[in-house]
Amino acid sequence: MTPLRQRMIDDMQLRNLAPGTQTNYIHHVAGFARYYWRSPEELDIEDVRGYLLYLLNDRKLSAESVNQCTTALQFLYLTTLEMPWSRECFPRAKRPLKLPVILSHEEVLAFFDNIPSLKYRAAMMTCYGAGLRVSEAVVLKVSDIDSKRMLIRVEQGKGRKDRYVMLSPRLLEVLRRYWRAFPSLGYLFPSWRENRHLSTGTLQLACREAAARAGLRKHVTVHTLRHSFATHLLEGGTDIRIIQALLGHSRIDTTTRYTRVSAQLVASVSSPLDRLDHKPMDRLDSKPKSNPKR
């Protein structure tokens, strides 16, 4: 390991960055160094711009992927190398606005009916029933299920934050049935490997297979269940601030995007056309009058 890499790792640990974030940053910086076959210490901001353009134009990476690389290089140069540059030296690619895929209630039922494994069905019902990210669901412990208070404790979710989400009676019934079949004192959804939890990749694969068996034409991932959870709560009249807290969003504008995908809310809005006087509409049924001046 080079001294620069070790110093960057130390800086990330001092700032308590998540292990996944640390791995992601090192991956992008290593790719940057390989592209030029030189140490980042010998490169400047023009080299950074050239590499980001290469990712966009030659490798055709998405704006989100390029922005992740930008963040990693920004941390390297501004924090670890302490270069006298500003954040404006690291421009961000504009991300296209994409609305999340949402399942209807009927599609959610069909989806769950096509998960043959009790463990996978319980895990994905937890994602939908509590709005959890797949990475949060797989690391749940049995002790995180508080049946007396009807809460689930999410420990160190995204952003290294703890939070509580609701435990619905129906989900509790499913989890109890699952636990009786597969009793565990550690992880709620353990892996076949000892002292390990179920991997996110395994659950994503089970999700794709269930969606295919259910005949869903939409692109369904485990995260789709979280999107559907939020949208269905919104359509049910739950306050947007409560949904923000349940999802663990730091910013309300992240949560308000669900108002753009709620078909029920869109359909309930009255068009200004419907507010027009009906008398002008009656004229559509009558024949146009001839112009006597013609």
Query: Known catalytic residue: 59?
Result: no
DSSP readout, 86-146?
-GGGSPPPPPP--PPP---HHHHHHHHHT---HHHHHHHHHHHHHT--HHHHTT-BGGGEE
Active site residue 196: no
Distance CA 105, CA 264 (A): 12
Residue 230 CB partners (closer than 8 Å, separation 6+): 131, 243, 246, 247, 255, 258
Active site residue 223: yes
Token digits of residue 219: 């692109």
* Residue among 47, 119, 54, 62 at smallest CA distance from 95: 62
In the numeric block, which tokens belong to residue 68? 């992740």
Half-sphere exposure for 32 (CA within 13 Å, toward CB): 32
**Per annotation, catalytic residue among 25, 51, 120, 258:** 258
Please confirm, yes or no, whether 279 is among the known catalytic residues: no
The residue from 5, 7, 213, 249 that is catalytic is 249
DSSP 184-218: -SSBSSB-SSTT-BPPHHHHHHHHHHHHHHTT--S
Structure tokens at 104: 């209807």
Residue of 5, 197, 213, 223 marked catalytic? 223
- All residues at 6 or more sequence positions from 210 whose CB lies less than 8 Å from its CB, including other chains: 111, 112, 114, 115, 120, 124
Catalytic residue check, 213: no
Cα–Cα distance measured from residue 200 to residue 208, given in angstroms and rounded to the nearest whole number: 12
Would you call 149 a catalytic residue per the annotation?
no
Q: Are 166 and 182 in contact (CB under 8 A)?
A: no
Catalytic residue among 121, 226, 227, 232: 226
One-letter amino acid of 141: K
Catalytic residue among 119, 133, 163, 227: 133
Question: Within 10 A of 144 (CB to CB), how many other CB atoms are there?
Answer: 17
Catalytic residue among 7, 153, 158, 257: 158
Residues belonging to the active site = 133, 158, 223, 226, 249, 258
